[in-house]
Amino acid sequence: MDKRLLILALGMFALGTDSFVVAGVLPAIARTFHTDVGLAGQLTTVYAIAYALLSPTVAALAGGVPRKRLMLSGLGIFVLANLATAFAPNFTLALVSRAFAGLGAAMYSPTATSTGAMIVKPEQRGQALTIILAGLTAATALGSPIGTVIGGLGDWRWTMVFVSVVGLLAAAGIALLLKEIPMPPKVSLRDRLAPLSDTRVGLVLATTLLAMAGNFVIYTYFSVVFDRVLSSTALFGALLVLWGSGGTMTNVVLSRLLDRFGPRWVLVVMLSVLVADMALLPWASGQLWSSVLAIAVWGVAGWGIMGPQQYRLVGLAPASAPVVLGLNTAATYLGVTAAGVLGAAGLHLLGGHNLALFAVILFVLAIVTSELAARRIEAADAVPGNLQLSK
């Protein structure tokens, strides 16, 4: 395994911890700022939408900035923004600081992902992408539960300090261990958005958005969905570890399967499993044993989506890998943004225990767009002279 990929994954671990840990301390944040859990959940929404909208923009404007410097600058902003959240005197300033944390993430994540895809051989791209993505799943298995426990034992503000420390360690690792990376060609914002004119790319991105919205409509309000079984902070952390651990194992296995078989059927299986799991969740979340089983399945299948999606996009546009992966990052966090809004509405309309019904609809729609993308890719492959692309 290329050790440089592990360094890049460490930075993703920091960003992932920040993305996921807020869900674990939402009730405490709501109490501090005298608001309800649905409104407090918009801290995740603001972070996600800043991340989504700024990823392609920053990548275009910073096209001439050395890759290492851009990643370190992004992590620096990220660390300071999380410290600002920790010491925010009111909810408004907390929201603003979350937007700046999203800016730092937007500077780092697409740069790290595209760098990983470029520094390995073409036949190793699937493995490279899933290793970097494993930084996010490791954040759910380790970073988020640790942060949740810290917030439960003390104050949620110490959770944000913990996130800042993780980001600082990631920056130190990159500064000390990662050599300078050759500059890619500068690409304008217009050119970065050009792949959206390809219907195949648009459908793949739509699949990412819908699938991640389905995942995070539950994760963002985890404490409400599973409140019938969450008897202690330690149990809360353990269930988050279970979710993230399932995803970590999935990415390790898929790294080789993708390079051998391609992503289409992996996606169909994972999304179908998620539909069934979410349909049963209103019942399963009422008992501890069934909650454990449902969360384990959700972790395995939910995190099994991103690797195939990234692999698919790089196969569609290998010469524009930084561009399409940046757009995929934007689609991911637009999905998280939609999840925050849908989840808040679902809490009022259906109640927390039935929130999974929103996820079922989103995952079914993701299957539809995924299969439409596969058929478009097959049709393009059938045209003489076209390159054979992964489906």
pLDDT per residue over 244-274, tens digit each? Answer: 777 666 766 776 666 676 788 889 989 999 9
CA dihedral over 373, 307, 333, 141, signed as positive or negative: positive
What CATH number is attached to the domain comprising 343? 1.20.1250.20
Domain that holds residue 251: 3-381
Q: Which residue type, as a one-letter code, is found at position 3?
A: K
- Is 390 inside a domain boundary? no
Helices and strands: H and E segment counts in the chain: 18, 0
Q: What angle do CA 167, 301, 146 make, to 5 degrees?
A: 30
What is the total residue count of the chain?
Answer: 391
Please check whether residue 391 lies inside any domain of the structure: no
Q: Which pLDDT does position 388 carry in this prediction?
A: 44
Residue among 356, 363, 245, 353 nearest 299 (CA): 245
Mean pLDDT of the chain: 83
The per-residue pLDDT for 137 is 67
Asked whether residue 26 is assigned to any structural domain, the reply reads yes
In a domain, 276, yes or no: yes
User: What are the angstrom distances between the C-alpha of 275 and each of 10, 229, 357?
Assistant: 31, 22, 9
Is 387 part of a structural domain of the chain? Answer: no
Token code pair at residue 81 = 């923004």
- Write out pLDDT tens, residues 91-138: 999 999 999 999 999 898 878 877 776 767 766 766 777 777 777 767
Instruction: Show the tokens assigned to 380.
Output: 């393009």
The winner for highest mean pLDDT among 22-26, 266-270, 330-334, 384-388 is 266-270
Q: Tens digit of pLDDT for each residue in 334-363?
A: 887 788 788 888 888 888 899 999 999 999
Domain assignment of residue 111, yes or no: yes
Q: What pLDDT digit, counting tens, does each position of 193-225 carry?
A: 677 788 899 999 999 999 999 998 998 888 889
The pLDDT of residue 318? 72
Looking at residue 391, its pLDDT comes to 47
Per residue in 274-283, pLDDT (tens digit) is 999 999 999 9
Angle at 18 between CA 13 and CA 21, to 5 degrees: 105
For residue 228, the model assigns a pLDDT of 93
Structure confidence at residue 111 (pLDDT) = 82
Q: Among 191, 241, 244, 204, which residue's Cα sits nearest to residue 60?
A: 191
Give the tens place of pLDDT for each residue, 41-89. 888 888 888 887 887 777 777 777 888 889 899 999 999 999 999 999 9
What is the pTM assigned to this prediction?
0.74
Average pLDDT over residues 148-159: 84
Count of domains in the chain? 1
Q: What is the pLDDT of residue 233?
A: 75
Residue 389 forms part of a structural domain: no
Tokens found for residue 193: 């958005």
